[in-house]
Structure 1
Amino acid sequence: MIDLSLSVLAGASLCVFVGAVIRGFTGFGFGIAATPLLVLLFPPAEIVPPILILQVLAGIQIYLRTRGHVDWKLLWSTLVGALVGIPLGSLVLDLLDSNTMRLIIGVAVLLAAALLASGFRFKMRPPHWLSGGLGILAGIGSGAAGIPGPPVIVLFLSSPVSLAIGRASLSAFFLFVATLSSASAAWRGLMTLDSVVLGALLMAPLLIGNHFGDKLFARVNERTFRRVALLLLFAIGVSTIARGFWDSGAAH
């Protein structure tokens, strides 16, 4: 039974609000910001389904505002690649344990962040085989460790498209992945009544924070946006590696 006391809900609302501001601002990052805080209030197994619900709601809210900026020509091949990669990620777990996968993905994320920090940009629109390939890598990361974002973040932040188009496309991609993950969790029976109730109770701080982050995006320049995105990428990489070492040590 999930603890739904007033003090716990107040703390959870603050965690969700912070994560939602980041999600609304960058188009990604809700999970990396909110999850470490929420697991201090709830058992990890209980908080994952509500987070999936909130990610879908956050994605829908931003998509409705930015759908006119989505670069579908680049996004479709990425989505197809992700669909291919997700089951491949599950197969990879038959060869490597999840902690080893987290360490590999964490190092890859840090390398990707370093690449972006170096100022790397594609001179031309990436071809479909490349965007599809990065989508496959994102799907493998999702299927193996629940971390789909970094390859796609690099793709859209390095492509010769405007910042608004890159952010909108990223947001649409994460909406797709969150919806797919939520459907999978429901099919496996992980979406309990408590999950739905907690997701509903946290909807208000999510939507408010998401809206605030979206408005904040309109007030900053590209340099500031890229700095925030890079900080999030580095945070994802470091936290993923730390979790791989921590869980591996706990298992022994």
Structure 2
Amino acid sequence: MDNWMILIFIVFFASLLQSSTGFGFSIVGTPFLLLIYPPQSAIQINIILSLCLSIIMIYKIKNEVNYPLLKKLVLGSLIGIVPGLLMYLFLNMDIFKVIVGVLIIILTILLFAKVTIRQTDKRDFAAGTMSGLLTTSIGVPGPPLLLYFSSTSMDKMTLRSTTLAYYLFIYLVSLIMQVSFGGSYLEVWTSSLIALIPLLAGIILGQLLFKRINQRVFRMITYVILLFTGLYMLVAS
């Protein structure tokens, strides 16, 4: 019961961030889910709930999606999906938290340093490839996209909508592949079902907050979330 209360709080806060900024569910949710679930279960719960969130929101944001960019991200992700699945099946989970923590901290430092990346077709594909690899391996597709698009100064509306549409594809494919090749557990689906109500509550509140967040505040929220999550992962590991 205590774990379920923690689950509810994690999912509500993570879905609030995701729906108000376009990212945050996996970056924040996965590290904390690892506190109460084994790694494979935490990853699958994160993927299932992230997929549900994308399904719920896609109708509202579909007209704001950059579809040419979405196509490149999807095609790029296909290259990274299989290597990522192999990492999921054979990665030493003792070093899992360290890898995620270091990755997120490096990302945050680059953003703070205002590293800029000129957007090109090849880099769009590369961002999709790295995101696909991280999704099937650890259930966290956001960091490569967040670094890339933040450094290109993409507006928050396009960033949120395009990434959510992309997540709908990549999470569905990742879930199917993980369950097919790695199996699943009853606690994954039970916990995901319990978390649907706080997920929906977070989405509703996040939609209201999105209208009140300007571009500068949006970026600051990005930095704080990433830095906190990366440091927490290292401490927890």
TM-score norm. by structure 2 comes to: 0.82
Which residue, 2, 9, 14 being the options, matches 2:9?
14
Answer whether contact 1:156 1:169 (CA < 8 A) is retained: no
- Matched AA of 2:58: Y
CA separation of 1:143 and 1:241: change in aligned 2, threshold 3 A: farther
- Matched AA of 1:155: Y
- Matched AA of 1:222: Q
Which residue, 114, 117, 122 being the options, matches 1:119?
114
State which drifts further: 162-171 or 186-195. Answer: 186-195
Which residue, 102, 126, 130 being the options, matches 2:123?
130
Answer whether contact 1:49 1:190 (CA < 8 A) is retained: no
1:211 maps to 2:207: no
Structure 2 residue ranges without an equivalent (≥5) = none
CA separation of 1:199 and 1:93: change in aligned 2, threshold 3 A: closer
Q: Distance in 2 between matches of 1:230 and 1:91?
A: 30
Answer whether contact 2:45 2:191 (CA < 8 A) is retained: yes
Q: Residue 26 of structure 1: CA displacement?
A: 1.7
Q: Distance in 1 between matches of 2:100 and 2:4?
A: 33
Size of the aligned set, in residue pairs, is: 237
CA separation of 1:210 and 1:19: change in aligned 2, threshold 3 A: same
1:168 maps to 2:161: yes
Superposition pairs for residues 50-129 of structure 1, below 5 Å? 50-90=45-85, 103=98, 106-122=101-117, 126-129=119-122
Q: Residue 20 of structure 1: CA displacement?
A: 1.2
- Structure 1 residues 36-95: Cα deviation after superposition (integer angstroms, max 9, x where no partner): 444444444444433322111111122221111111212221221111012234567899
- Alignment-derived partner of residue 27 in structure 1: 22
CA separation of 1:105 and 1:50: change in aligned 2, threshold 3 A: closer
Superposition pairs for residues 139-150 of structure 1, below 5 Å? 139-150=132-143
Structure 1 residue ranges without an equivalent (≥5) = 247-252
Q: Distance in 1 between matches of 2:162 and 2:212?
A: 19
- Matched AA of 1:184: M
TM-score norm. by structure 1 comes to: 0.78
Q: Residue 13 of structure 1: CA displacement?
A: 1.7
Q: Residue 187 of structure 1: CA displacement?
A: 1.5
Answer whether contact 1:153 1:170 (CA < 8 A) is retained: no
Q: Distance in 2 between matches of 1:164 and 1:242?
A: 34
CA separation of 1:223 and 1:185: change in aligned 2, threshold 3 A: same
Answer whether contact 1:62 1:214 (CA < 8 A) is retained: no
SS in 2 for 1:188: helix
CA separation of 1:219 and 1:77: change in aligned 2, threshold 3 A: same
SS in 2 for 1:199: helix
1:185 maps to 2:178: yes
